[in-house]
Amino acid sequence: MQYWHTEQQDGVFVAGYYNPPTNYMIGPGIAELGELIARWREPDVKAVVLTGAVPDRYITHYSVEELVAMDGDREALTRAAHGLIYGYHTLLRSLAWLDKPIVVGMTGDTMGCGLELSLNCDIRVAQRGDYRIGFPEVALGILTGTGSQLLARIVGHGRAMDFLMRSRTVTPEGALELGLVTELAVDARARAIDIAHGLARSAPVSVAGAKRAINRGANLPMEEGLKVEAEEWLKTIVTDEAMARMRDYVAQPFDKRRAWVAAQGVPPKPGDAIGA
């Protein structure tokens, strides 16, 4: 692929976006991402990492140059823009609904398209440094493609309105405070890969069930959301892996069980954990 550098090890598929020097997202990069999402449905992929493949860059935002180049016949522009935005919606929702955990290592500025892409993923690690995270679209006279809906669900109605209408961007620390990212790291790519390997070692039915329960149930009325969660629980309890893991847990002495649970994930690293 031209715009995504990929590697795979022990079930973790790493895709780094590569479009130097700015790492702006462009149409061909979106098309390649669609091909990657299809690849990630294969059973040998246990977890996915999205990151940047240019030093100190992630996905800065969508190429404004490409959007400006669409100008001309306004009727033709309307038709092209219609296909662009709804195709983009379909792509991002297919990412959000993928039954695999997706961890993002935000290794630089993450605005516009880059932030929308990240918010459709599951765990977001931002790199410490002089970077900005946000949505500049309103300042450009346009609007986010999916940002308003995701933003309101994550940070709340009032904060989302302020953030979007004022085209605000924040530091990685500000993004953590708002809940736009889940963790900060000195090396976001490395930390994201660590987390993905921990997820790849987890029970895949449980990981997928957790993702579906939140994505499909959290915005429903409580009773309907509980039904979604119950259906996912029923899928997990009947698996051999669940019984094997629970037997291993109950075989531990009581004073070792907390450590057993912690060992199943990726322990925080000094200087890299939330609040460090």
Give the separation between CA 157 and CA 77, rounded to whole angstroms. Answer: 32
DSSP 3-state helix, strand, coil percentages of the chain (rounded to 5)?
A: 50, 15, 35
Instruction: Supply the pLDDT for residue 20.
Output: 96
For residue 198 the two structure tokens come to 């921990």
Q: Which fold has domain 4-200?
A: 2-enoyl-CoA Hydratase; Chain A, domain 1 (3.90.226)
Instruction: Supply the pLDDT for residue 275.
Output: 41
Q: What is the pTM of this model?
A: 0.89
User: Residue 77 CB: number of other CB atoms within 10 A?
Assistant: 13
Instruction: Supply the pLDDT for residue 268.
Output: 61
Q: How far is CA 209 from CA 15, 88, 105, 238, 268, in A?
A: 24, 25, 23, 13, 24
Instruction: Supply the pLDDT for residue 274.
Output: 44
Residue 67 is inside which H or E element, if any?
helix 64-68
What does DSSP assign to residue 269? Answer: P
Instruction: State the burial class of residue 86 (Cβ atoms within 10 Å of its Cβ: 0-12, 13-18, 19+).
Output: exposed
Instruction: Supply the pLDDT for residue 269.
Output: 60
For residue 13 the two structure tokens come to 């598929």
The number of residues making up the chain comes to: 276
Give the separation between CA 126 and CA 115, rounded to whole angstroms. Answer: 11
Instruction: State the burial class of residue 35 (Cβ atoms within 10 Å of its Cβ: 0-12, 13-18, 19+).
Output: exposed
Residues of the chain with pLDDT under 70: 265-276
Give the separation between CA 91 and CA 130, rounded to whole angstroms. Answer: 30
Packing angle between helix 240-250 and helix 204-217, nearest 10 degrees? 110
